[in-house]
Amino acid sequence: MLADPHTACARIDLAAYAGNLTRIADHVGPEVAVMAVVKADAYGHGMIECARVARAAGIPWVGVATVAEALTLREAGDQGPLFAWLYGPDEDLSPAVATGIDLAVHRVEQLSQVAAAAAICETTAAVQLKIDTGLSRNGATGEQWPALVEAALEAVELGALEVRGIWSHFAASDEPEHPATAAQLEVFEWALGYAADAGLAVPLRHIGNSAAALRLPQARYDLVRIGIAAYGIDPADGTLAADAGVELQPVMTLRAQLINVKPVPAGAAVSYGGTWTATESTVLGLVPLGYGDGVPRGAGNRGQVLVGGRLAPIRGRICMDQFVVDLGPDARDQVGDEVVLFGAAGAPTASDWARAGDTIGYEVVTRLPLRLTRIQVEPGEESR
């Protein structure tokens, strides 16, 4: 039987999160700071809890995408170094500046936006300039970089801003043979050199995410921004972390109880569209989770779950709230027995689900919706 009373839940092992961060910090060494990336509700694991645990583990920086996320952390009591890299042209940045949040600056106009907030707060705002090294998402292009550096220097001169960092983001650091990585590092070096020659000295230079931190020492600079690996999911959907000698423990376990178990005869068609038909009599189990709970619909007829110590295949399409597994003709499983989708020893991993559902491990954990019960297990609490 299930060890807790929830019909279905995502269990978050915060000690595993802290452990993964600590092992990654050890791997990159004491010269490189770690930023725990907790955007998108910590990839579905709980932003406030993960940030708190990261701080307690001695991780110096926390990073989020939006200013709203950063302010939520401040409201929850977080007071440490915090970096946010996404905001719109009409956002009032004064609450962020007033609470000491470092803001990314990608365009000259954003320097004015942050400086205006600094003026309202009668303080100096900390910014980190982004160079677009090849992802073509945010950040100044090489052509725009000189103007951004010059404008930043002027704002520094006026006392409005402090430039704490220069940073960028990789397009394909998880693909060892991808030529973009070396090209991006070259552009990053050029941008750093340009800024230094112009008289802009910055304490923080960073470009590396999980994959880069794990396998590219030359891309670590002063800080690495760690998201997916800290949640125990391999950045390359394989053995990148293991190859780097870093053990990652899954943080999230997604599990449920079987809510129906029944024998069906050969010829029984399963789930919408009858895309799977039993070739012999078997026993089917019903799992009360579906794509409305974030389970990848594409994993119908492809994914597996752990039940009774063995892997059981999913049969038919995954519905909004439930899916069916094949327990086999001799099954002795009962209603109420535990089914693990991912996260426990012997179960498929989030990456396995990603493969089965034609997506990535990042999406599998990040898209779990509000209706799914989430249980946070604090470090030191008994792990069930």
CB of 192 to ligand PLP, least distance (A): 17
Which residue is closest to ligand PLP by CB? 227
Binds ligand PLP (CB under 6 A): choice among 210, 253, 304, 349:
210
x-or-dash pattern for ligand PLP, window 135-174, by CB under 6 A?
----------------------------------x-----
Cβ 177 vs Cβ 236: under 8 Å: no
Q: Is 272 a catalytic residue?
A: yes
CA dist., res. 228 & res. 38, Å (int)? 9
CA dist list (Å): 15 to 190, 252, 295, 341: 40, 11, 25, 21
Calculate helix-pair angle for 180-198, 145-157, nearest 10 degrees: 40
Strand partners, 311: 306
x-or-dash pattern for ligand PLP, window 62-101, by CB under 6 A?
-----------------------x----------------
Per DSSP, helices labelled H in 297-369 are 350-356, 361-366
34 part of the interface to ligand PLP, by CB under 6 A: no
DSSP character string of 78-100: --S-EEEEE--TT---HHHHHTT
Binds ligand PLP (CB under 6 A): choice among 16, 96, 161, 228:
228
CB of 61 to ligand PLP, least distance (A): 11
H or E element at residue 338: strand 338-342
CA dist list (Å): 382 to 3, 8, 51, 253, 347: 12, 19, 21, 15, 21
Binds ligand PLP (CB under 6 A): choice among 27, 225, 255, 315:
225
Catalytic residue among 130, 221, 272, 291: 272
CB of 137 to ligand PLP, least distance (A): 8
Is the CB of 212 or the CB of 258 nearer to ligand PLP?
212
Q: Is 262 a catalytic residue?
A: no
Tokens of 312: 């059981």
Q: Indicate which residues carry an active-site annotation.
A: 39, 272
Contacting residues toward ligand PLP, per CB under 6 A: 37, 85, 169, 209-210, 225-229, 235
